Amino acid sequence: MNGGLLVAGTTSDAGKSVVTAGICRWLVRQGVKVAPFKAQNMSLNSFVTREGAEIGRAQAMQAQACRIEPTALMNPVLLKPGGEQSSQVVLLGKPVGEMSARGYHGGRQQRLLGTVLDCLAELRGRYDAVICEGAGSPAEINLRRTDIVNMGIARGARLPVLVVGDIDRGGVFASFFGTLALLSPADQELVAGFLVNKFRGDVSLLEPGLDMLKGLTGRPSYGVLPFRHGLGIDEEDGLRVSLRGAVRESAVAPPLGADVLRVAVCAIPLMSNFTDVDALAAEPGVVVRFVDRPEELADADLVVVPGTRGTVRALRWLRERGLADALARRAAEHRPVLGVCGGFQILGEHIEDDVESRAGAVPGLGLLPVRVRFAREKTLTRPTGRALGEPVEGYEIHHGVAEVTGGEAFLDGCRVGQTWGTHWHGSLESDGFRRAFLREVAAAAGRRFVPAPDTSFAALREEQLDRLGDLIEQHADTDALWRLIESGAPQGLPFIPPGAPA
């Protein structure tokens, strides 16, 4: 078998990432050697591979679904937004510069098509099947000329395309038909059919519409996936999707102790790797919510200042909203605060930034004895160590170099009283360390909270991935899906006018 498939979507957030992961897990359970691929990803949630390459967290999660190590080949182009108009371009795991959207789509993107096709070809040479994820919608006709992630990669590698639609948003039939009808004849030849995602209710009520859609387009539905809570793991886009006011979901048991532990995460601008707090939300009795007002910190037992692609911008935002003063009061009262990566830098005394914001010298919040200087080279590592008497591992993604001048050592950072700071992402996924940290937080907060002794974040993640595989196995036409991956799009699919404009 040397198969492949592109999972496209009618919109952003239609469910492409989780469907791709689900197909990967279903295939690996059938004994297929499979890998994920996304030619170009725009995300502030990223991960560091063992070879020190930065890729999107969604592709790292999909690699885990495949039970393989993630590599830069799986996400050759990563765009990390620095605002509405520009992004850092990460090529084959290493940053190569900042670029405006106009500059990127004006020519640079198209010149990368050869690179991404080479990466895909290398993966296809190593694996039985490669399941590719598109971005946004393939019917973005203003961007089709330079597209390298949707129909551009499908055409270049002759991949069949499955279009996913989120029926929970409404208008899924119009979205399916309109997506197809805005593609050129050559692109339409590769679109094999549709997959309905997030359906609630009786599927028999949907079937007449699916039959009519097949009659109109000549293309079948490959399944109807039911709505399931708690499957939105490792989201991609930290710029467009606001988490303010959101509660991080986790299907967990009741708390072991008498009290719950409340965690407030400051929803700072350009928030990155907010998935760090998922390990906290996985603990029975821990409630995690994202906040943007100082009064929302008052009843929190722990406040987290997460990573950000704009440290100076986030620092200014915290001051403007009164959150900086609220954090200073917490620190003075010895109430727990944790800063991670950009959040750690914000808690320091001084920031010298001629790289990210080019703001020069900026005073930090002064809650930790740390001075930060931004370097042009990005730190991309997978450190391991011990903290609070427990083994811990994580990953680092940052331009800021921290000089720690005091306090008590904590991972690569420090702590002063109940204010903690580190550049390490993912450290809370180390179960023993997470439990030890939460015991300290509970004691400082005066809460009768007891961490569960048997919570395994890795096991919970595996359960989530198996649930995605179950969705595909139980609710998709797996025989038809197998034929599609193995043999490509059927011949003679009809053209649906008007097609893409010239």
| Catalytic residue ranges | 341, 425
For 245, the 3-state DSSP assignment is coil
CA pair distance 457, 167, nearest whole angstrom: 31
Residues contacting 34, CB < 8 A, separation 6+: 24, 27, 28, 66, 127, 128, 129, 130, 131
For 78, the 3-state DSSP assignment is strand
C-alpha closest to that of 20 among 71, 47, 58 = 58
Q: In what order do the strands lie in the sheet with 396-404?
A: 360-363, 350-353, 370-381, 396-404
Degrees to nearest 5, angle at CA 437 with 340 and 312: 15
**Category of 456 on φ-ψ map: left (φ > 0), alpha (ψ -120 to 50) or beta:** beta
Q: Where are the beta strands (DSSP E) in 306-354?
A: 307-308, 337-340, 350-353
For the chain, how are helix, strand and coil distributed in percent, rounded to 5? Answer: 35, 30, 35
Among positive and negative, which fits the CA dihedral 51, 57, 62, 65?
Answer: positive
Which residue type is seen at 166? D
CA pair distance 50, 63, nearest whole angstrom: 13
For 410, the 3-state DSSP assignment is strand
CB 368 within 8 A of CB 347: yes
Residues contacting 467, CB < 8 A, separation 6+: 228, 231
For 225, the 3-state DSSP assignment is strand
| The two three-digit tokens of residue 47, written as one number | 């991960």
Q: Where are the beta strands (DSSP E) in 309-458?
A: 337-340, 350-353, 360-363, 370-381, 384-387, 390-393, 396-404, 408-410, 413-416, 419-422
Please measure the distance between the N-terminal and C-terminal CA atoms of the chain and give it in whole angstroms. Answer: 37
CA pair distance 169, 438, nearest whole angstrom: 38
Can you name the residues that pair with 487 across neighbouring β-strands?
none
C-alpha closest to that of 485 among 160, 187, 226 = 160
Helix (H) or strand (E) holding 6: strand 3-9
